[in-house]
Structure 1
């Protein structure tokens, strides 16, 4: 019995020594013989070296995959654009509202754009118009943002992004009336969309990027 135990212990020790020797070898792997020559390498990264690190400068013809934007500011404006026009820069609705964000001609004039045709053909100008209009609305509604954010009206928690989205839909004056009447004066547009609906649908996005500016212009 003792011989068997001794033999087994010796065999186990021998195996351990051999394994240790194989793993502790100083031999290094020579990678010089490896090559990608002849292989077909497919990359998903664009070859455009002129892409700028600017989340707001979006290419109208870019149909590439976009990551989930969550409640970021870019997520806010893209969600709003999708609701307004399906994200189409060249859209004109039955009431004559223009572009990705569906601007009216009178609103464009207030932010310095007097050529609707040029506006419709320029994605870059449309992005600038959205920022300028939001900044102007934020200034007009600054007191209402301070007084009503966090309150609940008609079962909907008021947020800054909800206020700015509703102002884009109905104008800041209509949003003031909605808030100050505690939801009794609920503007409805030509398609039946209400201030309350936009308040709820676009609630909780981060719109801190927008700085209130009374004189905001797109050009």
Structure 2
């Protein structure tokens, strides 16, 4: 075989080797790209899922926070009173031992059938029932005073049923009777300086028609 033929064979062999190497390199790159692409898709899906989860968490609205959107509804009355008493904290106990969202005293709780204050403090639904029962009882005690004084002006405040019921929650129905029947002369302030007059003003004009007067209003301990 001549030198020229040998040279051609060597050149051909080198060309074949180079083509094989290039083919393998391209295939490897394609596979790596495919893997990378799949991982990118998976990562995008994971990020999307996380964003959805975060979005769903932020979309949860806190409950039992007073909102002016509630207006003068009964829910607005109840939630604003809870906010005034405890900032709507079901688990608050103040320095005088008053309990829960609506800051009930132990003696008031006993009147409406609640003796286990620990259970009461740790059961929001029971606290809401207690608020209704206490308001029903107060409305019954004050029914004549509501009829007599609503619409009258005492100490610069127009008297409304919701103002009377809020004041009764603060000072008890007996304290409200004394205030109304003395035309504001016999006032009341709690230990923190909150007065019947201030509650009469802050809680004017809410719809409390859902509260039905009930002399024997009680709460079931099963909340």
Shared fold per TM-score greater than 0.5 = yes
Q: Deviations over 1:95-126 (max 9, x none)?
A: 00000000000000000000001000000000
Structure 1 or 2: more helix by fraction: 2
Output aligned runs, 1:52-63, within 5 Å.
62=63
Q: CA deviation at 1:137?
A: 0.0
Mapped partners of 2:82, 2:192: distance in 1: 16
Name 1:168's counterpart in structure 2: 169
- Go from structure 1 to structure 2 and tell me whether the alpha carbon gap of 1:104 and 1:215 turns closer, same or farther (over 3 Å shift): same
Mapped partners of 2:119, 2:113: distance in 1: 13
Q: Deviations over 1:120-172 (max 9, x none)?
A: 00000000000000000000000000000000000100000000000000000
Name 2:204's counterpart in structure 1: 203
Name 1:110's counterpart in structure 2: 111
- TM-score, normalization: structure 2? 0.70
SS in 1 for 2:134: helix
Q: CA deviation at 1:218?
A: 1.4
Mapped partners of 1:97, 1:88: distance in 2: 12
SS in 1 for 2:129: helix
Structure 2: where are the runs of 5+ without partners?
1-44
- Go from structure 1 to structure 2 and tell me whether the alpha carbon gap of 1:178 and 1:114 turns closer, same or farther (over 3 Å shift): same
Is 1:178 matched with 2:179?
yes
- Go from structure 1 to structure 2 and tell me whether the alpha carbon gap of 1:150 and 1:118 turns closer, same or farther (over 3 Å shift): same
Q: CA deviation at 1:62?
A: 3.4
SS in 2 for 1:170: helix
- TM-score, normalization: structure 1? 0.72
Output aligned runs, 1:43-192, within 5 Å.
62=63, 68-192=69-193
Q: CA deviation at 1:65?
A: 9.9
Mapped partners of 1:64, 1:193: distance in 2: 22
- Go from structure 1 to structure 2 and tell me whether the alpha carbon gap of 1:205 and 1:134 turns closer, same or farther (over 3 Å shift): same
Q: Is the 8 A contact 2:135 2:165 kept in 1?
A: yes
SS in 2 for 1:182: coil
- Go from structure 1 to structure 2 and tell me whether the alpha carbon gap of 1:176 and 1:96 turns closer, same or farther (over 3 Å shift): same
How many residues end up aligned between the 2 structures? 168
